[in-house]
Amino acid sequence: MLSRIAESLFWIGRHVERADGVARILDVHLERITQLPAAEQEAEVRRIMAVMGVAPEHGDYGVDSLIHELAWNRDSPTSISGSLHAARENARRARETVSSAMWEALNSTHYGLGGHRRDVVGTFRVCHWAIERMATVRGQIQMTMSHDESWLFLGLGAALERADMTSRLLWTRSTTATEGMSWVSILHCAGAYEAFLRTRYGTFSDESATQFLLLDRLFPRSILHALTTAEEILVQMEPGLQRVGFKDDARRIVGEARTALEFHHAEDLMAVLPGHLNNVQAACARASEAVGAKYFSHAVEDSWFGGIL
């Protein structure tokens, strides 16, 4: 597979997952922020933007800026619109590899975004619409593409982004005052509320909700499940075993992050939660760079197009 195709597929997976994750985070926090007194809204908007790694263009930390930066700013890779645009552009570059059904689902979603209102009510609806549309795109990827190397790159990008998005979701709660965001809302945001209740048999606490989203081995949006999935895909991409060490830096980085979580004492998890969340986000960024350095060789592409080969 050409490295430019592999790179496009990897970033399709990341951007589709990011559009879904940002829509979930914006939906639950926008509802809460708009119900706060005006004097408290700026501090909350500033906090959410810091967690998501964005800043307003003109220094305005109002609700309108939050909506623009996380939903509608097409130039930002963090916004729903920017992620959808980037996913579609990468799919266009890899058009000969992705299935027609997947392309049509992504393309119609991209153009459908323009039909929505950009006020508060319209953005609420866009968040729910984007979550449904991303589920459709992911379904087309699963059911209309062969589970070969192309699918592995798509899945690897999605798994790394999912771990990063869940860590940011937990950050938005861990940096909130106790009277702010509830864990019920966080679980609903992650689509985990019913799965959590069935697993815990109705026993509910901050610690149990955190453990579920961080450490549950079976829930697909937990950080541990996402890291495990990324590690399994990396093994499939290079199954060779060494007696000592790893040649694959991405696998080493993801494996270290997974084991740091999996073997930590769950009882004192809340006390060290910020450190774990920072480590997960850093590991996802470093693993993404390592995958790029290993598989996305632009020098080879240049030599091919330059007629050297």
DSSP string, 164-223: HHHHHHHHHHHTS-TTSS-HHHHHHHTT-HHHHHHHHTT---HHHHHHHHHH-SS-TTSH
Q: Which residue has the tokens 């997974």?
A: 258
How many CB atoms sit inside 10 A of residue 191's CB? 15
User: 53's torsion region: left (phi>0), alpha (psi -120 to 50) or beta?
Assistant: left
Q: In whole angstroms, what is the distance from residue 145 CA to residue 102 CA?
A: 8
Residue 285 and residue 291: Cα distance in Å, rounded?
A: 10
- Cβ-contact 241, 178 below 8 angstroms: no
- What's the confidence (pLDDT) of residue 177? 52
Distance CA 52, CA 169 (A): 9
Q: What is the rounded CA–CA span in Å between residue 5 and residue 301?
A: 10
> pLDDT 10s digit of each residue in the chain, 309 long?
788 899 999 999 999 999 999 999 999 889 889 988 888 899 999 989 998 999 887 788 999 999 999 999 999 999 999 999 999 999 999 999 999 999 999 999 999 999 999 999 999 999 999 999 999 999 999 999 999 999 999 999 999 999 999 999 888 877 665 455 678 888 888 889 899 988 877 667 778 888 899 999 999 999 999 999 999 999 999 887 777 777 789 999 999 999 999 888 877 777 888 899 999 999 999 999 999 999 987 655 444 443 333
Are residues 23 and 81 in contact, defined by beta-carbon separation less than 8 angstroms? no
Determine if residue 223 is left, alpha or beta; phi over 0 gives left, psi from -120 to 50 gives alpha, anything else beta.
alpha
As a whole number of angstroms, the distance between CA 164 and CA 160 comes to 6
Q: What's this model's pTM, rounded to 2 decimal places?
A: 0.91
Sign of CA dihedral 73, 74, 78, 80: positive
The CA distance from 234 to 75, in Å, is: 31
Sign of CA dihedral 243, 295, 106, 86: positive
The domain limits of the chain are: 1-145, 146-298
The answer to whether 30 and 124 are in contact (CB under 8 A) is yes
Residue found by looking up tokens 């790029």 in the block: 292
**What was the pLDDT predicted at 155?**
97
